[in-house]
Amino acid sequence: MLKIDGISSHYGGVQALDDISLALEEGEILALIGGNGAGKTTLLNLISGIIRPSQGKIVFKGENIVSFSPERIVKLGIIQVPEGRHLFGPLTVRENLELGAYRRRGKQNKKKISEDFKYILQLFPVLEKRLNQRAETLSGGEQQMLAIGRGLMGKPVLLLLDEPSLGLAPLVVQEIISVIERLRKEGTTILLVEQNARAALRISDRAYVLKTGKIQLQGKASDLLEDGEVKRAYLGQDS
Amino acid sequence: MDFSQQIAQYIVTGLTIGAIYAIVAMGFNIIHNATGIVNFAQCEFISLGGMFMYSLVVLFKVNLIISFFISMAGVALIGALIEIGPIRHARSKEIIVLIFLTIGLSEVLRGTAQEVWGTDNVGVPAFSGENPIHLLGGATIVPQHIWIFAITVLVMLMLHYFFKKTLMGKAMRATAVNRRAAALVGISVNRITLFSFAFSGALGAVAGIIIAPISTTSYDTGIMLGLKGFAAAILGGYGNFAGAILGGVILGLLESLGAGLVSSQYKDAIAFFILLLVLFLKPTGIMGYGEAERV
Ligand SMILES: Nc1ncnc2c1ncn2[C@@H]1O[C@H](COP(=O)(O)OP(=O)(O)O)[C@@H](O)[C@H]1O
Ligand SMILES: [Mg+2]
């Protein structure tokens, strides 16, 4: 569905990604794990058209989208839930969700959008009570749920999740993980970026390990969970 | 006229001019929220609105209402062209460079207007006669004052509806808050910017059009009005819509009362004195910055 082919990226003179290639199959969860500064966010922003690569191709359903504008990429159904959430803080929860459906604006989608709205409140019931509150007044966990909800309002064909569990309490992480699993069951293809490698690998089909801009390892998620190097570098000692 | 009558008169005048400042301040805010810049060409939008209106109504004898809308649309178009051309294609996207660019554009527009219309102050007929109406407090008011209030209130209501109820308005607010997040939900930030310039053009034009019958108009009337509208925006809290109204009204009242009670010599100085005071004491203005939190 998505093929990244020989992508390199620079910030000024500093290289962030070095000749990355990866492929994402329809319907799978692909995990991208790696430490801080490995280049995970950079890769997602390249896919979303927020930044441009210095070389390489990004092919989505047979089309090279590497020069597309962010809004054109969103129109294709490639939707990113960014690291740090990037909500519209002073706008209400409801407005944030409505804007999530911006790419589908127009009369013909009205009914579907309001169904999706209900569906998202069912996924994240805490949001229902907060609909008329400013997004910035929510707790961290609620904000992450809203960020994912806003992403889902765009009806993603491919969902890019950038560290959805970052800084959240274990219980909230659990809730978000189970939502991700549910989305997969319902047919959404997901690229899941995480530092929380254990949780990510448990729910993913395959995974890539990124280290200082290069792909270090790749394979079935279940194999990587048992891999000695991954265990040592990303899974910690205790568990 | 006794003292209380005089005060009432100053208040009416102050509210009228304050309404104009509020509209102008809105124009500044809209572009600021979309782009982060201060658009000094806003001043020229006001002059052009007045001069288009003058040309259509006085020179070409076009119907008043039609002239109103053509003038508004004309200036909106000029706003859009400014964005599509120089602003969008500026090599540097630095805020300070773009602000200077708007100052340059302002000069170009004013120079062109001077070539077209000369430097004379010209009159535009009032929308519905000049017969003064006597108010309760003993103040008198010409019908154009009522037009100014009514149109300003209507404009504010429409803006409120637009920004709170329509998807496009919400998209504009969202873009002001976080451009990257706006792009990530599929909002075209370029389109929003273009729209905000056209929108501000229309607002500036409305201000220039409705005040013209009272104060006459010329190729450069917008400078003073524009700078005072800018002061009103700062006073209320730059980028803040409620602040624009509040700032406009306060500034209009202080100016009118100050000119009446102290000395009309200092009328223009009052606005800038207040501007400096705000920048010193509370740079975020009365209501604080708008929703925009640049990231
Ligand atoms: N806007 C930026 N400007 C300059 N360097 C950046 C920028 N964003 C990221 N980098 C650098 O690029 C590298 C990869 O960063 P990032 O993609 O954010 O990694 P990750 O998401 O894996 O933590 C890091 O070395 C980081 O310092
Ligand atoms: Mg990151």
Ligand nearest to the CA of A45: 1
Ligand nearest to the CA of A39: 1
Contacts of B186 in chain A (CB under 8 A): 70-71, 74-75, 102-103, 154
Chain B interface residues (partner A, CB cutoff 8 A): 167, 170-171, 173-174, 177-178, 180-188, 291, 293, 295
A87 pocket-lining for ligand 1 (C-beta < 6 Å): no
Instruction: State how beta strands A206-211 and A189-194 pair.
Output: unpaired
In a domain, B58, yes or no: yes
In a domain, B291, yes or no: no
pLDDT of residue A238: 43
pLDDT of residue A239: 42
In a domain, B213, yes or no: yes
In a domain, B288, yes or no: no
In a domain, B182, yes or no: yes
The one-letter code for the residue type at A68 is: F
Residue-wise pLDDT for A156-167, tens only, equals 999 999 999 998
Q: CATH no. for residue B158?
A: 1.10.3470
**CA distances for B192 relative to A102, B181, B199, angstroms:** 13, 14, 10
Ligand nearest to the CA of A36: 1
Residue-wise pLDDT for B112-164, tens only, equals 999 999 999 999 999 998 889 888 777 888 999 999 999 999 999 999 999 99
The answer for residues whose C-beta is within 8 angstroms of residue A85's C-beta and 6 or more apart is A143, A144, A146, A147
In a domain, B293, yes or no: no
Residue-wise pLDDT for A59-113, tens only, equals 999 999 999 999 999 999 999 999 999 999 999 999 999 999 999 999 999 999 9
Given ligand 1 and candidates A42, A192, A234, which is best to mutate, with the most ligand atoms within 8 Å of its CB?
A: A42
- Summarize the confidence of residues B192-215 as an average pLDDT: 97
B231 pLDDT above the threshold of 50: yes
What is the C-alpha to C-alpha distance for residues B31 and A144, in angstroms, rounded to an integer? Answer: 30
In a domain, B295, yes or no: no
What is the C-alpha to C-alpha distance for residues A130 and A200, in angstroms, rounded to an integer? Answer: 29
Residue nearest to atom 24 of ligand 1 (CA): A37
Atom of ligand 1 nearest to the CA of A44: 17
What is the C-alpha to C-alpha distance for residues A91 and A41, in angstroms, rounded to an integer? Answer: 25
A38 pocket-lining for ligand 1 (C-beta < 6 Å): yes
* Residue of chain A whose alpha carbon sits nearest to that of B187: A71
- Summarize the confidence of residues A27-40 as an average pLDDT: 95
pLDDT of residue B292: 57
Q: Characterise A212 by phi-psi region: left (phi > 0), alpha (psi -120 to 50), beta (else).
A: left
- Closest of A85, A78, A88 to residue A43, by C-alpha: A78
What is the C-alpha to C-alpha distance for residues A121 and A128, in angstroms, rounded to an integer? Answer: 6
In a domain, B80, yes or no: yes
What percent of chain B has pLDDT above 70?
Answer: 98
What is the C-alpha to C-alpha distance for residues B260 and B3, in angstroms, rounded to an integer? Answer: 11
Contacts of A95 in chain B (CB under 8 A): 170, 173-174
Q: Which domain holds residue B25?
A: 3-281
Q: B180 and A50 in contact by Cβ < 8 A?
A: yes
Cα B228 to ligand 1 centroid, rounded to whole Å: 44
B295 pLDDT above the threshold of 80: no
Number of domains in chain B: 1
Quote the mean pLDDT of chain B. Answer: 93
Contacts of B183 in chain A (CB under 8 A): 48, 50, 70-71, 74
